[in-house]
Structure 1
Amino acid sequence: MQPLRPTLLRWLCGLSFSALAVHAPADPLTDAALALLQAHTQGLAEEVRITVQPATVTAGDCPAPMAFLPGAAQDASQLARGGRVTVGVRCAEQVRYLQAQVSVIGPYWVAASDIDAGTTVTHALLREERGDLSRLPHQALREADAAVGRQSTRPLSAGTVLQAQHLRAVPLVTRRQQVVMEADGAGFKITRDVVALDDGARGDLVRVQLDPRTQLNAEVIGPGRVHAAR
């Protein structure tokens, strides 16, 4: 068998590479959707992974596809946690919709050890983790400051993802506590001792008892202090 001549060998190699390009053509709809999502997620986190499912129907001749986020997804903040997203692409007078998966990889906080109900959370009780935020509970806390100084509403086992519903502001007034109530008006200000009938953090409205027959609503303004509700 005679060896292939150089000219024939170069021609066959060129034919092979051309065939690969034909079987993997560029998809203008997918490219447009990907570019839009990349623009909207820029700066959300150190790492963002985007996967766009190709259109089930080819776009045909579409030299200038225009991608957009339909409906509620128009608010870019919807992408902050990632998840499944629908992207619309206009091509001439037609609109196609593509599905995409956005994975925002970022920090979140978990209990570093078991936390009893009623415990005031400190930095030592927290541990930072990193992962796909779209897989976390909706109220997962991404900032430690959102947990530190607050009180756990239930027991939390080590490794539990901290959520807003797990925490409450530390009460400054407790039920049956004797507190000082302030009241003021045009040209006067008075204070008197009353009994709180509810727990309350700063800004909460609680019931207070002036005497066995009289109750009022008051706003918590500090430790052991309330102001008569206006």
Structure 2
Amino acid sequence: MLRQRFTKPSTLRYWQVIVLLVILSITALANAQADDDNLLQKVHQFLYEETRALGEEVVIDLRPPSPHLPECVQPEPFLPNANQAPLGRVSVGVRCGENSRQVRYLQAQIDVIGNYMVAARDIERGALITSNMLSERGGNLGDLSAQALTAEEDIVGKIAQRPIRSGSAFLAHYLQAPHLVERGQRVTVIAQGSAFRVSREGEALENGALGERVRVRFGSREILTARVTDRGTLVVDF
């Protein structure tokens, strides 16, 4: 028969253990809080740098990370939707670790007080947008759609794809850059590199706006893709 004897620790020893555990818990919580503060500070500064040029006043409300997540070493914030301005409710990615193998996401509410463009009058579908069709308005850019275009240079010169009512903000899918190349058009394709430049004439197989890539046919069989740079002109870079 196995017999074990347990000796009840003295009252002093018992309280020494309790005090030690409390000290260790407080230290662990303090270290975790310091790690979270460092992470939040990094993300907050990143978001400020991304938004400060959008308006006169920026308010960033950043939700802290889950307390159950491990420490984020060497945090590197990034925006998952880099093509959209970080306004309103946004998700912010953070790469952690020396090799950035761990990725976590934080939620933020970003309000920017600034100016944006609205339609000064009703605009018909198919109209070319000019500066006298725009009116400037001030407000919280965070209340706008993520697709809203706020700068005049992003709006003027484009074609309305649908009727736009007076006072409405301009959304990206409302507008389209005008075609500089039309399907079936004879176009000039310039092939250029560091030490050469040659041009050929071909037929565009699709419409294309500035910067878009379209297919061009040469003869009966040869087809390549080139970038639209001007009216009736495309470029192939080598």
TM-score if structure 2 supplies the norm length? 0.53
- Cα RMSD of the aligned pairs, angstroms, is 4.3
The aligned residue for residue 81 of structure 1 is 87
Quote the sequence identity (%).
37
Structure 2 residues not aligned, in runs of 5+ = 1-40, 67-76, 92-106
Q: 1:182 to 1:70 in 2, by over 3 A?
A: same
SS in 2 for 1:220: strand
Verify: 1:219 aligned to 2:227, yes or no: yes
- Of residues 123, 127, 131 in structure 1, which corresponds to 2:135? 127
Could you tell me whether the CA contact under 8 Å between 1:217 and 1:229 is conserved in 2? no
Aligned length: 167
Distance 1:221 1:155 in 2: 28
Verify: 1:140 aligned to 2:134, yes or no: no
Distance 1:131 1:104 in 2: 8
Q: 1:167 to 1:101 in 2, by over 3 A?
A: closer
Letter paired with 1:143 = A
Structure 1 residues not aligned, in runs of 5+ = 1-35, 53-66, 86-98
Letter paired with 1:106 = G
- For residues 177-226 of structure 1, the C-alpha deviation after alignment (integer angstroms, 9 at most, x for no partner) is 11112235797644332111111123321111222433322222222112
TM-score if structure 1 supplies the norm length? 0.54
Q: 1:188 to 1:48 in 2, by over 3 A?
A: closer
Q: 1:70 to 1:107 in 2, by over 3 A?
A: farther
Q: 1:75 to 1:69 in 2, by over 3 A?
A: farther
Distance 1:107 1:146 in 2: 14
Could you tell me whether the CA contact under 8 Å between 1:80 and 1:104 is conserved in 2? no
- Cα deviation, residue 173, structure 1: 1.1
Q: 1:204 to 1:104 in 2, by over 3 A?
A: closer
The aligned residue for residue 109 of structure 1 is 117
- The aligned runs of 1:38-77 (5 Å cut-off) are 45-46=55-56, 69-70=64-65
- Cα deviation, residue 163, structure 1: 1.7
